[in-house]
Amino acid sequence: MATSRPHRLIGFLESRKNLTGSACGLAGVVLTLTGVAGPYWPVVVAGLYGAGALLAPPERPAPPDFPDPSAQLAEVRGDFGRLRGYLADVELPPAAEEPLAGLTGLLAGLLEPGWVAEVLAADPEGLHAVSRAVRQDVPEAVDAYLRTRWWTRLTPGQEPPERHLERQLALLREETERLAERLRDAEARRQESHTRYLEDRSEH
- Kindly report, residue by residue over 4-59, the tens digit of the pLDDT: 555 554 555 456 665 665 666 666 566 565 655 556 556 555 666 666 655 556 66
pLDDT in tens, 135-186: 999 999 999 999 998 877 767 767 788 999 999 999 999 999 999 999 999 8
Domain ranges for the chain, please list them. 4-55, 69-202
pLDDT at 51: 64
Task: Kindly report the pTM of this predicted structure.
Answer: 0.65
- Looking at per-residue pLDDT, the higher value among 125 and 17 belongs to 125
Q: With bands split at pLDDT 50, 70 and 90, how would you rate the model's confidence at 1?
A: very low
Give the mean model confidence (pLDDT) for residues 176-199. Answer: 91
pLDDT at 13: 45
CA 107 – CA 180 distance, rounded (Å): 9
Give the mean model confidence (pLDDT) for residues 125-130. Answer: 93
Give CB contacts under 8 A, 24+ apart, made by 10-19. 15/56, 15/59, 16/56, 16/57, 16/58, 16/59, 17/52, 17/53, 17/54, 17/56, 17/58, 17/59, 18/53, 19/56
- Looking at per-residue pLDDT, the higher value among 50 and 188 belongs to 188
pLDDT in tens, 44-100: 556 666 666 555 566 666 667 666 777 888 999 999 999 999 999 999 999 999 999
Is the CB of residue 20 less than 8 Å from the CB of residue 57? no
Residues 6+ apart with CB under 8 A from 124: 69
pLDDT at 103: 96
